[in-house]
Amino acid sequence: MPYPTGHRDQVRSRIVESARQLFNLNGFEGVSVDSIMAHAGLTRGAFYGYFESKSDLYAEVLACFFTDPNWKNRWEGIDVDLASPDAGPQIVRAYLSRQHFDDVENSCPMVALPSDVARSDAKVKTAFENVFRAMVTVLGREVRNMAQPPEDTAMAIASLCIGGMVVARSLNDSRFGDRLRDAAAHAALVLGGWSLGAHPSSNNSSSEKSPAHIKRVRQELRRPGRRAKR
């Protein structure tokens, strides 16, 4: 009996979504084809009907809201309109937001995987570079600070966004991490010549009750050596 129309696209999407979540949680090297397929509820044998290798799959997994029109629906309370004249500052605030910080499974893979990419093959590095270039292109269209070529400024802003989130997630002190994200966003907005507006961690009331945020707070409270306030 033939599969219904759209079945192949649905299966492919399940594989990509499974890989996206596992790569973000465990890194590129820490995830096997077997684990990706099991997480998607599929058999290993089905994988090679869609992708030649894990590197090929990575090229599809590596996407964010500047390449995936549906990405804006992944983070609660985040809306990025790439057609807006304010797309640049919207990207900065979204990328360095509390929602992005908390939602590890649905992170932009450029945050979760840069160290793995540096050790990977040319195909993986090219995929990473293509998405970084896409981010730079979107940001560069809206740069208002003409102190240097817009593309150079956009590269610096993209690096602040990605690097700021990488470092913030590497810190044990969550408040220090919040300050770091705010500082990176402030610097990126100034570089772009954009209005500073609200800081990314100050307009996230919708995420304060999210499961990811509650889990993180509980982990912080259980941290060894932490004392209750009097």
The 10s digit of each residue's pLDDT in 105-125 is 888 888 877 777 777 788 888
Which carries the bigger pLDDT value, residue 162 or residue 109? 162
Nearest Cα to Cα of residue 97 among 18, 188, 22, 172: 188
pLDDT band, very low/low/confident/very high, at 3 (cuts 50, 70, 90): low
Domain shared by 106 and 185, yes or no: yes
Look-up: residue for tokens 């010549």?
193
Domain shared by 91 and 9, yes or no: no
| DSSP collapsed to 3 states, 71-86 | HHHCCCCCCCCCCCCC
Mean pLDDT value across residues 212-230: 48
Q: Is the pLDDT of residue 219 over 70?
A: no
> CB within 8 A of 188, min separation 6: which ones?
92, 96, 157, 160, 161, 164
pLDDT band, very low/low/confident/very high, at 204 (cuts 50, 70, 90): very low
Q: Could you give the CA distance from residue 135 to residue 161 in angstroms, rounded to a whole number?
A: 10
Domain shared by 98 and 9, yes or no: no
Q: Which of 1-10, 119-128, 170-179 has the lowest mean pLDDT?
A: 1-10
Q: Is the pLDDT of residue 185 over 90?
A: yes
Which carries the bigger pLDDT value, residue 229 or residue 5? 5
Domain shared by 94 and 134, yes or no: yes
Retrieve residue 172's tokens: 């044990």
Full domain range(s) for residue 200: 62-221
**Residue 210: its pLDDT value, please?**
46
Are the CB atoms for 108 and 64 separated by under 8 Å? Answer: yes
Domain shared by 131 and 91, yes or no: yes
Tell if the pTM clears 0.85, that is, is over it.
Answer: no
Domain shared by 91 and 165, yes or no: yes
pLDDT band, very low/low/confident/very high, at 82 (cuts 50, 70, 90): confident
Contacts 24+ apart (CB under 8 A), 21-27: 21/105, 21/106, 23/58, 23/61, 23/109, 23/112, 23/113, 24/104, 24/105, 24/106, 24/107, 24/109, 24/112, 24/113, 25/104, 25/105, 25/112, 27/112, 27/113, 27/115, 27/116
Residue 227 domain-assigned?
no
Query: Which residue blocks in the chain are alpha helix, DSSP H?
Result: 7-26, 33-39, 44-47, 54-61, 87-95, 98-102, 109-112, 114-118, 122-142, 150-170, 174-192, 211-221
**Residue 72: its pLDDT value, please?**
64
Domain shared by 4 and 47, yes or no: yes
- What total of structural domains would you count in the chain? 2
Q: Could you give the CA distance from residue 25 to residue 21 in angstroms, rounded to a whole number?
A: 6
Domain shared by 171 and 134, yes or no: yes
Share of the chain above pLDDT 90, in %: 49
Q: Is the pLDDT of residue 33 over 50?
A: yes
- Of 61, 76, 96, which one is at a domain's C-terminal end? 61
Are the CB atoms for 77 and 207 separated by under 8 Å? Answer: yes
pLDDT, the chain, mean: 83
Q: Could you give the CA distance from residue 56 to residue 47 in angstroms, rounded to a whole number?
A: 11
